[in-house]
Amino acid sequence: MRRISRLFAIPLCLVAVARADDAQKIACGNDSQFQHGAVVCVSQVASEVGAESLKRGGTAIDAAIATAFALAVTYPAAGNIGGGGYMLIVPAGRGESTVIDFREVAPAAATRDMFVDPSARTAHRRVGVPGTVRGLALAHSRHGRLAWRELILPAVKLARDGFALDAAVAGELNKVLGRSDREQFAELHRVYARPDTVAWQPGDRLVQPELARVLEIIANKGPDGFYQGEVAQLIASEMERGGGLVTTNDLEAYQPIARKPLRSTYRDCEILSVPPSSSGGTTLALALNMLENFEPNPSARWSATSQHRMAECMRRAYRERAAYLGDPATTDIPAELMEKSYARRLAGSIDPAKATPSEQLAGELPVTNESEHTTHVSVMDGDGTAVSMTYTLEQAFGSRVVVRGGGFLLNDEMNDFNWLPGVTNNKGRIGTLPNQIAPGKRMLSSMCPVVVRRDGRTLLVSGSPGGRTIVNTVLCVLVNVIDYRMDARAAVDAPRLHHAWFPDEIRIEPSLAKQHPMAVDELRRLGHKILPSRESQGDAHTLAVDPRSRAITAVPDHRVSGGAAGH
Ligand code: DON
């Protein structure tokens, strides 16, 4: 680990914060409550599949795996076998927590400059080597109780017999088909269009026979059924057809990594999240460590002061992300980033009376002035083990490349590398060294599955999709619960904001301006550029555990869709 020499000159005010009440009620009456285990995610059917494995005596890990395979069928925009992600596993009590990093990697033939030429940015070339199946298998080999095959068979059935589309999935399918050229994305249209080619309606059944067959192969042969043999060959042939780089050797070589979770604290809570190759945990810890230096006013969650502080902390945390974070196998990440004193220095440069222009924070990073789906599953079992898992194809439906003969989508995760070496601009493009492309390297993610504990007991399991907004969505939910004593439903429903250093603007969910217009005006007066978020920010399916009764309240985020199940 290397040290950072940059210091911040402006001193700051330090404030101690009162310890939160142990018995804080973070569950709300209207959401489903479960005593022995629960699953919440974007798809009600997939949550039910996960909950069924809990009822059969499976662990939270078994349930997360069964849910993930079901989501690959029922939520094709992001559920996947052709993508990657992170599973955070936190047992009750003193058991050892783990992160399974099943992030995709760049194929062996990838080069640093492979996307400099815009004409080279084709759908097939954006595909990274998928990690999901070996990642889930690693989690199962270490923490599973039920048979692997049993966890996949419900997904096989959903794919083979079909399932009823909800309004969200019907809408997403219509949207992706509408924006995808029929010739270039012929397989996408063949697999996902309604047989009579008219628009999908809620309640219509989507049947995926080829996907059912591939899932059955994985159920019978284990992960090698995906990474070797017929399925690997189908992927490689698809790549060759479209000029993609992933080969059978890349697939054979792919390995997930078990890592130690990133541990930080905020006020009286312990925050467990994911270390690099995701930037999620580190960026979240940086922002929270900065925020800890200011005392929250419990009655002023929506004041300009509170929003200003949050945006300034986000701005600074994302600047550090751009400067230092990348695949730890190739990047020396400074250990100080996680130190409270480091965040205190950063927080010291926040001016309470005005926004700091992002350029002012660039430091040694050259910034030029040049003139944009994922899904989260939260699980808890009867033993108190929590699983927080976020996985993705990158954009909605990934590369939109469906493997011919396989009926499944491939990711476009190569998007997450810094494509233009050296080009960091005020529009938000990052060109810094730590996340430049290299063969076999993991591209930097923002995924941020979290588990929050107090006094050694799990309080909250959360996470979100949303690309670079992910960390800020999680930050908003955590701050709502820990600082502003909201119950989990209110914390999830509350309006969100996002600042990512560049572009130098705050994106707010429209409800923030509607509910708190004066605070938003005041933020403008402080010098912030405020814009409405392009769509709602994130989709944070959350579990909250009552500190006394240990009842689990499942809080689906209704921004997209969502459902919970348990017992
Ligand atoms: O790993 C990441 O950070 C991104 N590929 C996630 C993309 C995403 O969340 C898109 N979803 N809304």
Per-residue model confidence (pLDDT) at position 454? 96
Helix (DSSP H) and strand (DSSP E) numbers for the chain: 17, 21
**What is the model's pTM?**
0.94
Active site residues: 374
Strand ranges in 303-455 using DSSP code E only, listed in sequence order: 367-368, 374-380, 386-392, 424-425, 450-454
Tokens of 98: 């783990």
Domain ranges of the chain: 25-258+373-414, 259-371+447-546
For the chain, give the percent of residues with pLDDT over 90.
Answer: 91
Provide the β-strand partners of residue 263: 272
Q: Please give the CATH number for the structural domain made up of 259-371+447-546.
A: 1.10.246.130
pLDDT band (50, 70, 90) for residue 14? very low
User: Which pLDDT tens digit goes with each residue over 411-430?
Assistant: 999 999 999 999 999 999 99
User: Which pLDDT tens digit goes with each residue over 165-215?
Assistant: 999 999 999 999 999 999 999 999 999 999 999 999 999 999 999 999 999
pLDDT band (50, 70, 90) for residue 449? very high
User: Which pLDDT tens digit goes with each residue over 116-169?
Assistant: 999 999 999 999 999 999 999 999 999 999 999 999 999 999 999 999 999 999
Nearest CA to ligand 1 atom 8: 467
Nearest to 365 by CA among 161, 165, 203, 501: 501
CA of 400 to the centre of ligand 1 (A): 15
Residue 15 has pLDDT above 60, yes or no: no
CA separation for the pair 492, 52 (Å, rounded): 26
The predicted model gives 468-493 an average pLDDT of 97
CA of 14 to the centre of ligand 1 (A): 35
Residue 7 has pLDDT above 60, yes or no: no
CA separation for the pair 498, 500 (Å, rounded): 7
CA separation for the pair 337, 329 (Å, rounded): 17
Half-sphere exposure in the Cβ direction for 314 (13 Å, CA):
29
CA of 178 to the centre of ligand 1 (A): 22
Stronger pLDDT, 261 or 364, i.e. the higher one: 261
392 lines ligand 1 (CB under 6 A): yes
**Which ligand 1 atom sits closest to the C-alpha of 443?**
1
Nearest to 414 by CA among 451, 444, 459: 444
Per-residue model confidence (pLDDT) at position 382? 95
84 lines ligand 1 (CB under 6 A): no
Residue type, 497: L
The predicted model gives 353-366 an average pLDDT of 93
Residue 104 has pLDDT above 70, yes or no: yes
Residue 25 has pLDDT above 70, yes or no: no
Nearest CA to ligand 1 atom 10: 373
CA of 394 to the centre of ligand 1 (A): 5
Provide the β-strand partners of residue 552: 34, 545
376 lines ligand 1 (CB under 6 A): no
Per-residue model confidence (pLDDT) at position 534? 85
Per-residue model confidence (pLDDT) at position 533? 92
465 lines ligand 1 (CB under 6 A): yes
Block residue for tokens 């400059």: 113
- Cβ contact 126:414 at 8 Å: yes
CA of 124 to the centre of ligand 1 (A): 18
394 lines ligand 1 (CB under 6 A): yes
Stronger pLDDT, 517 or 24, i.e. the higher one: 517
Residue 13 has pLDDT above 50, yes or no: no
Nearest CA to ligand 1 atom 2: 445
Strands 367-368, 424-425: pairing kind: parallel
Q: What is the mean pLDDT of the chain?
A: 93
172 lines ligand 1 (CB under 6 A): no
pLDDT band (50, 70, 90) for residue 367? confident
CA separation for the pair 409, 400 (Å, rounded): 6
Residue 373 has pLDDT above 90, yes or no: no
pLDDT band (50, 70, 90) for residue 29? low
Give the distance from CA 557 to its chain's centroid: 14
User: Which pLDDT tens digit goes with each residue over 275-304?
Assistant: 999 999 999 999 999 999 999 998 999 999
Residue type, 387: V
374 lines ligand 1 (CB under 6 A): yes
Q: Which of 400, 446, 536 to mutate to test the pocket of ligand 1 (most atoms within 8 A of CB)?
A: 446
398 lines ligand 1 (CB under 6 A): no
The predicted model gives 320-324 an average pLDDT of 97
* Three-state secondary structure call for residue 555: strand
- Cβ contact 491:480 at 8 Å: yes
CA separation for the pair 121, 117 (Å, rounded): 7
Per-residue model confidence (pLDDT) at position 20? 38
CA of 523 to the centre of ligand 1 (A): 28
Say how many residues make up the chain: 567
Give the distance from CA 105 to its chain's centroid: 17
264 lines ligand 1 (CB under 6 A): no
416 lines ligand 1 (CB under 6 A): yes
CA of 456 to the centre of ligand 1 (A): 30
User: Which pLDDT tens digit goes with each residue over 494-509?
Assistant: 999 999 999 999 999 9
**Which ligand 1 atom sits closest to the C-alpha of 539?**
12
Q: CA angle 171-173-174, nearest 5°?
A: 65
Per-residue model confidence (pLDDT) at position 24? 67
Per-residue model confidence (pLDDT) at position 17? 28
Q: Which of 71, 283, 411, 447 to mutate to test the pocket of ligand 1 (most atoms within 8 A of CB)?
A: 447
The predicted model gives 307-319 an average pLDDT of 98
CA separation for the pair 79, 316 (Å, rounded): 32
For the chain, give the percent of residues with pLDDT over 70.
Answer: 94
Nearest CA to ligand 1 atom 6: 467
Per-residue model confidence (pLDDT) at position 26? 63
Q: Which of 80, 87, 470 to mutate to test the pocket of ligand 1 (most atoms within 8 A of CB)?
A: 470
373 lines ligand 1 (CB under 6 A): yes
Per-residue model confidence (pLDDT) at position 266? 98
3-state DSSP percent of the chain in helix, strand and coil, to 5: 35, 15, 45
Residue 375 has pLDDT above 60, yes or no: yes
Per-residue model confidence (pLDDT) at position 369? 72
The predicted model gives 339-349 an average pLDDT of 98
Q: Which helix (H) or strand (E) holds 62?
A: helix 60-74
CA of 398 to the centre of ligand 1 (A): 10
CA separation for the pair 468, 366 (Å, rounded): 21
Nearest CA to ligand 1 atom 4: 467
The predicted model gives 203-229 an average pLDDT of 98
CA of 446 to the centre of ligand 1 (A): 7
Task: Classify 126 in phi/psi space as left (phi over 0), alpha (psi -120 to 50) or beta.
Answer: alpha
CA separation for the pair 280, 262 (Å, rounded): 10
The predicted model gives 503-532 an average pLDDT of 97
The predicted model gives 324-339 an average pLDDT of 97
**Which ligand 1 atom sits closest to the C-alpha of 447?**
3
Nearest to 361 by CA among 2, 10, 3: 10
Provide the β-strand partners of residue 13: none
Stronger pLDDT, 374 or 448, i.e. the higher one: 448
